[in-house]
Structure 1
Amino acid sequence: MTKEQYLNQRKKLMNEAELLINEGKFEDSEAKMNEVKTLDNKWETIALANANLNALKDNAKVTELENKSVTVEGGKPVDNIVQPKPLDEKKAYENAWAKYMQGGKLEGIEKELFDKVNTEFSNAYTHDTTNTAILIPETVVAGIWKRAEEMYPLLADVRKFSVSGTLTMKKHTGIAAGDAAFYDEATATADEQNNFGEITLSGCELAKAITITWKLRSMAMEEFIPFIINELGERVGVALGKAVASGKGASASPREPEGVETALLAESGTPQVVTYDPDNATTPVPLTYKKVTEAIAKIHSSYLGGAAIYANNATIWTQLANLTDDNGRPLFIPDVTSGGVGRMFGMVVKPDAGLSKNNILIGNASAGYIMNTNEPMSVATEEHVKARTVDYAAYTIVDGAVLDTKAFALIRDIPTA
């Protein structure tokens, strides 16, 4: 059928349909119009077939497209095509995580990324719990650690690792024989005999739960994430900050990281400890210039370059800030620009709530203490429908121990009997 035949036949059918409408024969006219639709579909098929045939005939001909653009009415020229930015998976996971924590439904790319990350996490770490642990985004964990370290500078200063499972490190404890020495020309150099110890950080379970109302959970996402960072940072910070300073170590039940105070007091003869007793009602032993210099002298000279002084806020302002030399000049110099509240003997004085009352720790934390995160931080949720609250339980496995006691000295308050 040619185009002319199609048009003539269509015109005839349309005229017949119009006559039937004028005569009031609506059902017949509808049937006639259906014939027109059938004819149109038939012609469309024929026209498409002809177009394909013509395209095949001209297939060998290469059309020059240069300068052949056509302006589309109402359209806008596209001069610069901006490529879509690659997906920032860390930020995308943070948003998906926050949405999930707020009880939102994840769909599309959000759900795919969320499931992928947590499947990998659950395959790497197995938990005996009926609640699914969700990996906290790196950006949020960094905020939690930062908040914890702001409150506990000793925790901030220690050397940190993130080794899954057990971390074992050798530490050099001394040279039994063969140290460097001067020799006569004919004398052979002695073989060196080193003594090594071993630190094994197998991990301590750290968990903390917070409970918030459904109403509070419905806050905006940009408010929810800082809220979680602040809440978990403070609570996790308390546990870790105290553990680094005075944790009981592997012998405790439950197991805790080893605190610097604990390690120094456990040494035979406590060679790195100086004592005083300011609260003794009968014969008080005050903190003096000489006791501070005695403590500093116990630190190996190789560690002094990065040493700082740590004590809780009350101890700083009742003991250290009032300390004077033999000429009555104050040893404590207030200074908030160096990362602490003051300086003594060239070292920064840092307030740390993890230190025991009246105890003063002097040392190089980055060289003398190591901490390992054996399992990254995750969080599980539990809904309480009647109370309209939700629990967020953060969980991680960490451990820490003193690498070298010679990096520290402790000025200890003698406990009251």
Structure 2
Amino acid sequence: MNLEELLKELQALVDKYGDDTDPSDEDAARMAELTNEINQIRAQIDQTAQTRSAAVAAARAAIDNGTAQRIDSVPLARSANNFGTGDVYDTTDYAAAEQRAWVKGVAERAGVQLVEGYALTDAERAAQNHAMQQRAEFNHTTGNTGSVIPVELQNEIISLIDNTAVLWGDMPKQNFPHQFEIIRHKSIDTGDAAQTAEGAAPTDDEKNTFDTLKFEGVEIKKSLKMSRRMAVQSVESFQSYLVGEIAARLSVGCNAHVHARLANESYGMENTNKIETAKAGAFAKADLAGLLSKLYTYGLSTPKGAIIYANNNVIWNYIAMLEDSNGRSYFIDEKNADPSVEGHIFGKLVKRDDSIADGTIIAGYPDLFKGNVFDGPDVMPYIASDGTQNRCFDGYELIDCGLAVPKSFAQLTIKAS
């Protein structure tokens, strides 16, 4: 029975007898028993309250002197559970504290004056030291070079790059720290699947052409500059500026490299997959159908399907103008959550990619365009040495990419008039 039930039963027995009436021996014994149980429970409640108060006090003291065990999700009042075990938890948001510490360090090295100043709080200093220790242990076991930029900010930059670097963002990417090779499936020469009589063996063995593609890494570097006059900000606004500007500049470099690899016969599409329109200055249904007919996957998984890429001018002045014999457009102006999607044609997504030259349309399976990020993105601050007093921030990323199936992409050029 709980305390409330015990008290209720005891009160009922008391009310059963008046002031001048003695309880029966049985009821008197029961009243004594109930009183004893109530006193024990109350003593236990008092002891628990004292223990919890002591635990909370110990937890606060451990946080103040930096010896608390870190945890991010449990409120201190419920997590101070040492109860003689010595385990005390700290609820500081160390991820946010590490980000603030990194932003302050970048600002100090670049001479950007922050409203909050450069001094680290105890939580920020503890978070920074913890991150450095974790990074050192991770590097020791994997050989990865690592980055001083917090993981959360790095992921935010990567997300922004993927949203603006269209083809680079569509590609599957790995994070191998060292050089490696991928196997390319170039063609099925003979012996593809064919009909046979029941129980008969295949009439011809399949013969394929494969080669390997080495990923060595290409450095992508983009700089942004802030005048000395601009260099007074809060921690939050400076962090937002860094993340947004570095991502915007790196996305340009990443997407340009992707298209350069795509045009390279060793890393990208076969030359036979580069075609032109039938007529100069004109774009017809047969031209687009011919582009799509060049695409092969050789049975490899392509969950995103084939996608058509072109710049804004080509999409709206050529692709969107394709009409059937009744004057109805083949192009469906239907957008989705991806800001680069302009619509559909022949069941394929049409994406706006400003890295593609005017008069050019590219189509292919982005799942077969393999990428790797060896290092970065990272941010390196410094003050310009040319006397301008500009505050400079270099964005850096080490990447590489190539087609696993050279015939999985094709390019159509609209002939000049």
- Distance between the aligned counterparts of 1:209 and 1:186, measured in 2? 65
Letter in 2 for 1:406: K
2:284 is matched with which residue? 288
Q: 1:71 to 1:330 in 2, by over 3 A?
A: closer
Bigger mean CA offset, 105-114 vs 222-231? 105-114
**1:218 alignment partner in structure 2:** 232
**Cα distance, 1:236 vs. partner?**
0.6
- d(CA) in 2 for partners of 1:174, 1:293: 21
Q: Provide the rounded CA distance (Å) in 1 between the counterparts of 2:326 and 2:49.
A: 92
CA RMSD of aligned residues (A): 3.8
Structure 2: which 5+ residue stretches go unaligned?
Answer: 1-42, 57-75, 80-88, 109-117
**Is 2:364–2:410's contact at 8 Å kept on the other side of the alignment?**
yes
1:157 matched to 2:170: yes
**Does the residue aligned with 2:233 lie in a helix, a strand or coil?**
coil
Partner of 2:380: 380
Name the residue aligned to 2:129: 112
> Which position in structure 2 is the counterpart of 1:309?
308
Percent identical: 22
| Offset, 1:139 | 2.0
- The code of the aligned residue for 2:171 comes to V
Residue aligned with 1:411, SS: strand
SS at 1:81's partner residue? helix
Partner of 2:255: 241
Checking the alignment, whether the CA contact within 8 Å between 1:241 and 1:353 is kept in structure 2 is no
Number of residue pairs aligned between Structure 1 and Structure 2 = 325
- Once the two structures are TM-superposed, the CA of residue 352 in structure 1 deviates from its matched residue by 0.5
Residue 71 to residue 353, structure 1, CA distance change in 2 (3 Å): closer
Is 2:152 aligned against 1:139? yes
CA displacement at 1:201 relative to structure 2: 1.1
Deviations 1:377-414 (A, max 9, x none): 22222235965432211222100111213322211134
Distance 1:121 1:390, change over 3 A: farther
Q: Distance in 2 between matches of 1:186 and 1:314?
A: 55
CA gap of 1:240–1:68, structure 2 versus 1, over 3 A, is: closer
Instruction: Verify the 8 A CA contact 1:148 1:241 in the aligned structure 2.
Output: no
Query: CA offsets per residue over residues 64-118 of structure 1, 9 Å max, x none?
Result: x84776999xx99x8x933245565543322221121121244641441354356
Contact 2:333 2:342 in 1 (8 A): yes
SS in 2 for 1:156: helix
Mapped contact 1:289–1:326 kept (Cα < 8 A): no
Mapping of residues 26-41 of structure 1, within 5 Å: none
Between the aligned partners of 1:142 and 1:273, the Cα distance in structure 2 is: 36
TM (norm. structure 1) is: 0.66
Structure 1 gap segments, 5+ residues each: 1-64, 127-132, 248-257, 279-283
Pair 147,190 (structure 1): closer, same or farther in 2 beyond 3 Å? same
The secondary structure found in structure 1 opposite 2:410 is: strand
Instruction: Report the Cα offset of residue 355 of structure 1.
Output: 0.9
> Which letter does structure 2 place at the counterpart of 1:379?
V
Superposition deviation, residue 160 in structure 1: 0.9
Q: For the Cα contact (< 8 Å) 2:281–2:415, is it kept in 1?
A: no
Whose Rg is larger? 1
Contact 1:208 1:235 in 2 (8 A): yes
Q: Do the aligned partners of residues 71 and 118 (structure 1) sit closer, same or farther apart at CA in structure 2, a change above 3 Å counting?
A: closer
Cα distance in 1, alignment partners of residues 179 and 286 from structure 2: 42
Q: Give the alignment's TM-score, normalised by structure 2.
A: 0.66
| Residues 97 and 114 in structure 1, CA contact (< 8 A), matched pair in contact too | no
The one of 158, 162, 166 aligned to 2:179: 166
- Quick one: distance in 2 between partners of 1:401 and 1:332? 30
CA deviation profile, 1:340-388 (whole Å, cap 9, x unmatched): 11211122211101111111112221x2201100112222222359654
Structure 1 residues 41-120: aligned runs within 5 Å: 66=44, 81-83=77-79, 84-85=89-90, 89-103=94-108, 104-106=118-120, 108-113=125-130, 115-116=132-133, 119=136
